[in-house]
């Protein structure tokens, strides 16, 4: 019996080795940048998470992960970058904008799309989304952006009696599924910035018709873990259909999940950061910066550091402070408070060689 057991183990052992080897190789297929959970806090509690109705920091934080627009901001500055549109052309003295969309962008999976549970994002979705948000603003007496008023055919938005469910702005023309044209009345240097904000994010007509303003069906890199928003923390999960790539052509996003909490007390938020329950704290008030630095000076000055502080200066020349763990890589926040969580990843820092002259 002992001999038979030994033979059995010898026969079985290679299979274990093969299985273990395959398991490890599979875990590395996506590369070392992929995986993990990023934890961030918003200092207020969201109400409705839908493009065009963004009034709070928490809403903007989440909306920008769930939805995409034609273009977006660079998180390191305020330059405009491609997003849903892979390229664009500006003509007629900056009054004609032609956008060419990615052909491999899809909406999040949901029953509202029928048996296929998703579909490609096309140019008519961009036109529909911008017009739907504009209509909501007109009916609810919100301010209409000057960039929107500058589009040919937008005059109906200024009608104080507008109550229709549909709106057709003639200056937004769908040429085909991947080509969209905007015709402006006059040049506007901020038009691309309008397309980069939350009033121009893209959602599906099917999703709005099914769920209205409570829809959680997006077009971006992350989707909601649950179909309804509940609890003190929202979990966002990386989709497997996102079209985004970084400069090295690597598939985005890198992080598997994002957990967003809504702690409104700054001291408690910093405490959670100390306790390793948050990976970053954004917009730290100057009232708390000095005390936190004094308390954790060793963690900031160690080699490699355990905590890192980044400063951002906004357009009003005011400085905001952000704390993050040193294993959080490629986290950037620009002067208007925009950051792109699709590009962050986790990697332990390496000690820097110190030379003494």
Q: Render pLDDT for 253-288 as a digit per residue (tens, 0 to 9).
A: 999 999 999 999 999 999 999 999 999 999 998 889
Q: Residue 311, class by beta-carbon neighbours within 10 Å (0-12 exposed, 13-18 middle, 19+ buried)?
A: exposed
Q: What is the pLDDT of residue 53?
A: 87
If you write DSSP's letter for every residue of 251-296 in order, what string do you get? BS---SEEEEE----HHHHHHHHHTTS-SEEEEE-HHHHHHHHHHT
Tell me: pLDDT of 215 over 80: yes
Q: What is the pLDDT of residue 160?
A: 55
Reported confidence tier of residue 4, pLDDT bands at 50, 70, 90: very low
pLDDT above 90: percentage of residues in the chain = 68
CATH of the domain at 152: 3.90.76.10
Tell me: pLDDT of 113 over 70: yes
296 shares a domain with 335 = yes
Q: What is the pLDDT of residue 319?
A: 87
Range of the domain at 135: 79-215
Query: What is the average per-residue pLDDT within 131-140?
Result: 88
Within a domain: residue 15? no
pLDDT above 70: percentage of residues in the chain = 87
326 shares a domain with 282 = yes
Within a domain: residue 24? no
239 shares a domain with 210 = no
Residue of 15 and 292 predicted with greater confidence: 292
Q: What is the pLDDT of residue 29?
A: 60
Our count of domains for the chain comes to 2
Q: What is the pLDDT of residue 163?
A: 59
Within a domain: residue 11? no
pLDDT tens digits, one per residue of 307-320: 999 988 877 788 88
117 shares a domain with 167 = yes
Q: What is the pLDDT of residue 353?
A: 76
Task: List the Cα angle 321/354/273 in 5-degree steps.
Answer: 30
Query: What is the average per-residue pLDDT within 132-139?
Result: 88
Sign of the dihedral defined by the CA atoms of residues 209, 211, 215, 216, in that order = negative
Within a domain: residue 57? no
Within a domain: residue 329? yes
286 shares a domain with 160 = no
Within a domain: residue 175? yes
Residue of 316 and 128 predicted with greater confidence: 128
Tell me: pLDDT of 164 over 60: yes
CATH of the domain at 334: 3.40.190.10
| Cβ contacts of 13 within 8 Å, gap of 6 or more | none
Domain boundary among 164, 189, 215: 215
Domain boundary among 181, 215, 249: 215
Query: What is the average per-residue pLDDT within 99-117?
Result: 96
237 shares a domain with 187 = no
Domain boundary among 188, 215, 242: 215
95 shares a domain with 203 = yes
Reported confidence tier of residue 231, pLDDT bands at 50, 70, 90: low
Which tokens sit at 20?
Answer: 């273990």
3-state secondary structure of 314: coil
For the chain, the average pLDDT equals: 87
Enumerate helices (H) and strands (E) in the chain, giving the number of each.
Answer: 9, 15
Contact between 268 and 290 under an 8 Å Cβ cutoff? The reply is no
Q: How far apart (Å, rounded) are the C-alpha atoms in residues 108 and 76? A: 27
Q: How far apart (Å, rounded) are the C-alpha atoms in residues 182 and 152? A: 8
208 shares a domain with 86 = yes
Q: What is the pLDDT of residue 26?
A: 34
Contact between 289 and 282 under an 8 Å Cβ cutoff? The reply is no
Within a domain: residue 58? no
332 shares a domain with 209 = no
pLDDT tens digits, one per residue of 16-25: 333 333 333 3
Query: What is the average per-residue pLDDT within 5-18?
Result: 37
Which tokens sit at 185?
Answer: 């009345």
208 shares a domain with 144 = yes
Contact between 276 and 326 under an 8 Å Cβ cutoff? The reply is no
184 shares a domain with 272 = no
291 shares a domain with 199 = no
Residue of 140 and 171 predicted with greater confidence: 171
Within a domain: residue 309? yes
């Amino acid at each position: 019996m002992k001999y038979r057991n030994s033979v059995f183990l010898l026969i079985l052992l290679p299979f274990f080795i093969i299985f273990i080897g395959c398991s490890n190789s599979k875990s590395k297929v996506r590369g070392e940048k992929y995986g993990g959970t990023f934890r961030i806090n918003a200092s207020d509690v969201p109400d409705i998470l839908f493009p065009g109705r963004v009034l709070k920091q928490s809403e903007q934080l989440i909306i920008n992960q769930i939805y995409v627009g034609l273009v977006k901001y660079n998180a390191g500055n305020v330059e405009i970058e491609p997003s849903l549109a892979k390229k664009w052309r500006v003509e007629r003295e900056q009054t004609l904008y032609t956008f060419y969309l990615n052909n491999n962008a899809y909406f999040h999976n949901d029953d509202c799309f029928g048996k296929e549970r998703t579909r490609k994002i096309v140019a008519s979705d961009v036109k529909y989304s911008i017009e739907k948000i504009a209509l909501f603003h007109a009916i609810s007496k919100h301010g209409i952006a000057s960039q929107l008023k500058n589009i040919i055919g937008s005059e109906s938005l200024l009608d104080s009696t507008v109550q229709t469910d549909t709106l057709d702005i003639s200056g937004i023309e769908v040429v085909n599924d991947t080509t969209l044209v905007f015709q402006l009345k006059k040049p506007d240097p901020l038009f691309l910035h309008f397309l980069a904000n939350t009033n121009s994010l893209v959602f599906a007509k099917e999703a709005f018709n099914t769920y209205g303003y409570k829809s959680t069906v997006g077009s971006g890199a992350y989707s909601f873990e649950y179909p309804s928003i509940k609890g003190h923390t929202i979990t966002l999960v990386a989709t497997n259909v996102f079209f985004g790539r970084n400069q090295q052509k690597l598939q985005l996003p890198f992080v598997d999940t994002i957990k967003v909490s809504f702690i409104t007390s700054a001291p408690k938020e910093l405490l959670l950061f100390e306790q390793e329950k948050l990976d970053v704290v954004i917009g730290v008030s100057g009232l708390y910066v000095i005390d936190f630095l004094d308390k954790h000076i060793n963690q900031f000055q160690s080699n490699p550091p355990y905590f890192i502080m980044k400063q951002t200066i906004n357009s009003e020349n005011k400085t905001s402070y952000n704390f993050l763990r040193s294993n959080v890589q490629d986290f950037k926040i620009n002067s208007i408070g925009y950051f792109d969580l699709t590009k962050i990843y986790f990697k332990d820092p390496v000690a820097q060689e110190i030379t003494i002259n």
